[in-house]
Structure 1
Amino acid sequence: MDVPRPASPRLSAALLFTALLLAAPAAHAQSQHECVERHPTPASLAAMFDVALRADEALEALDDVDVVILARGGQDLSKYGLRHSHLAFAVREDDGSWRTVHLLNHCKSPQSTLFREGLSNFIGETGSHTDLRVGVPTPAVRAALKTMLTAPGIQAKALHEPRYSVVAYPFSDEYQNSNQWVLEVLAAAIAQSRDGTLLVRRAQVQTWLKEQMYEPSSLHIGVGKRLGARFFAANAATTDHPASERISGNYSVVTVESVFDFLQKRKVLAQELSVAHVPVAGMSAPKPQ
């Protein structure tokens, strides 16, 4: 799971709704996108490291906590009522440092990889315009997560599906997006901490989530964007969604908000806090590449 970070645009690869386009991917779509390397300004880099330092201090202040959930922003999704777009776990390593573990889709491709990296890399340019949302699971869930996210991390890896879709259907194992992997690992940890139930396949986890009344967000995407995705988005597929959603354009998707809502309803969050961003003059939320 400890994969080196590629030197390529972070935001376009990592955000849940980078494309915000919904349709079955065309075979030639991936070749139409080139990775363009981003070069953050000194001001945005300073904001990134400042927020990372604040986050580290906030996590260090938590007593006996070695795993938390982090959510950061990115593309402006306010029209969907969404402030944060990407989830990760933050795990305290044996040397005391905090490392994030999350799923990233590189360069809008239809494939994803699990990454383990520092707080500053995870925050990136979003440190200049969006706060971090931090969720602290209950002790029993933290203990299960720590085992799952520590090498060799067999169970967490087993719940990773490399076939990526930015709008993967929450109750299908055909594709997976970033927030969906985090939700499924959380579900497995909750089930194990409560009664020892071992969930090692995605289908098992999704059945459990249905039984526990997990409710995904419903996002309406217009026809124009759906048609555009057929030609321009290799990482946006809707073949896993029910026909009713494809016809209506109202798609069920795993979002940061839906995950936190689920954890709150299941009473497995011991605490929530936020880490403020550092505004940079003249800078707005970056657009995906």
Structure 2
Amino acid sequence: MKFLFPIFALCALLSSCQALAGSQAGTEAKFAPETITAFAKNVEKYAAAQGAGAFIIGRIGRPQQELPKGIRFTHTAIAVYSAITLKDGSTVNGYAIHNLYQETGKPDVSALVVDYPVDFFWGVHELSAGIIIPTPELQQRIIAAISSGKNKAVHNPAYSVIASPYNNELQNCTEHTLNIINASIYQTTDMRQLKANARAHFKGQRVRSSRFKLMLGSLFMDDVTTRDHDGKVVTTTFSTIGRYLQQNGLVKHMAVFNRDGSSGELL
């Protein structure tokens, strides 16, 4: 039975890597549609009550016990209060969510996709939302950055689930969100400057897995690679973005919003 151990170890590794890979759209719903819809609407109401014109939003796409240490949310995006045109041509106000998603059938390639809260939470494992509301000035800068296309200017479609935040060789959803935030803060889309600023001021999340295991995973998953890392494997997470903004006095409100309508501390 000795030969089974490497198989079990590999399965555990791939599960861990998949737990990080939350940048996917259109996954199967685990809750009733009306439950997801009600939760999504309550998230919108909560954010609006806090005065959020734009905020960073996170979701939980895998069971907590499968997530690597220090990682709480599997996908991160930016929600912007917008006029939304419905299929019948009418217009309503609500939050449009600006995502980086992996392309279907091409997990190592990403695209920028706008969806809405119900879509965003459709395939989640847990109905909890991470919410980071920046200061009003930073909110306005983020809104301006997205409306002027700066989110596209700081997008790199070469995807890795554990992309380094300190260079632009590869990118994941959370690093892309950080890029938009920093483009808004520093008023530039010069990637060399943005990455220099990230190295100077942003502390990423250490990925607690050996290089051998990550290398093994890269043999089986197109969206896992460490080639953009120098030394320890570090990536961007929802929580590290929260700490970064909090430490620099750029947060108005942060919370985890739960299914029962309660909210708790994010960090």
Question: TM-score, normalization: structure 2?
Answer: 0.78
- In structure 2, distance between residues paired with 1:67 and 1:50: 21
Which AA in structure 1 matches 2:123? E
Decide whether the 8 Å contact of 1:199 with 1:205 is kept in 2.
Answer: yes
Q: Give the one of 169, 173, 195 matched to 2:168.
A: 173
Q: List per-residue Cα deviations over 1:228-261 (Å, max 9, x = no partner).
A: 323311111211111x33xxxxx11111111111
* Aligned residue in 1 for 2:81: 92
Instruction: Say if 2:236 is the partner of 1:254.
Output: yes
Of 122, 128, 132, the residue aligned with 1:131 is 128
Task: Give the length in aligned residue pairs.
Answer: 231
Q: Is the 8 A contact 1:51 1:275 kept in 2?
A: no
Bigger strand share: 2
1:71–1:38 distance in 2 versus 1, CA, 3 Å: closer
What amino acid maps onto 1:185 in structure 2? I
Deviation track 1:87-140 (CA, whole Å, cap 9, x = no partner) reads 1111111342211001111345211011111101111232x5241011111111
Q: Would you say the 8 A contact 2:58–2:77 is kept in 1?
A: yes
Query: What's the counterpart of residue 241 of structure 1?
Result: 229
Within 1, Cα distance between the matches of 2:250 and 2:214? Answer: 36
Q: Report 1:85-124 matches (<5 A).
A: 85-94=74-83, 95-107=92-104, 109-124=107-122
Corresponding residue for residue 61 of structure 2 = 74
Q: Secondary structure at the match of 1:220?
A: coil
Separation of aligned partners in 1, 2:199 and 2:215: 30
The question of whether the paired residues in 2 share the 8 Å contact of 1:164 and 1:235 is answered with yes
Work out the percentage of aligned pairs sharing the same amino acid: 19
Question: How far, CA to CA, are the matches of 2:204 and 2:198 in structure 1?
Answer: 10
Moved beyond 6 Å, runs of 4+: none
TM-aligned CA deviation for residue 223 of structure 1: 5.5
CA RMSD of aligned residues (A): 2.4
Question: How far off is 1:38 after superposition?
Answer: 5.1
Judge conservation of contact 2:77–2:177 (CA < 8 Å) in 1.
Answer: yes
Alignment partners' CA distance in 2, 1:203 and 1:111: 22
How much has 1:47 moved relative to structure 2? 2.9
The residue number in structure 1 matching 2:220 is 232
The answer as to whether partners of 1:110 and 1:165 remain within 8 angstroms in 2 is yes
Alpha-carbon distance change, 228 to 44 in structure 1, aligned in 2, over 3 angstroms = farther
Which secondary structure state, in structure 2, belongs to the residue aligned with residue 89 of structure 1? strand
Q: Are 2:217 and 1:221 equivalent residues in the alignment? A: no
Amino acid of the structure 1 residue aligned with 2:185: I
Q: Does the alignment pair 1:269 with 2:251? A: yes
Contact in 2 for aligned 1:45/1:125 (Cα 8 Å)? no
Distance in structure 1 (CA, Å) of the matches to 2:210 and 2:39: 35
What is the TM-score normalised by the length of structure 1?
0.73
Partner amino acid, structure 1, of 2:73: H
Deviates more, 1:94-103 or 1:109-118: 94-103
Q: CA–CA distance in 1 between the matches of 2:27 and 2:149?
A: 33
Distance in 2 between the 1:205 and 1:273 partners? 27
Q: Which whole-Å deviations, capped at 9, do the CAs of 1:198-244 have from their partners, x for residues lacking one?
A: 31122211112223x210010121466324323311111211111x3
The 3-state SS of whatever aligns with 1:215 is coil
Bigger relative contact order (CA 8 A; separation at least 6) = 1
Is there any run of 5+ residues in structure 2 with no aligned partner, and where? 1-15, 84-91, 261-267
Which stretch shows the higher mean deviation, 79-88 or 232-241?
Answer: 79-88
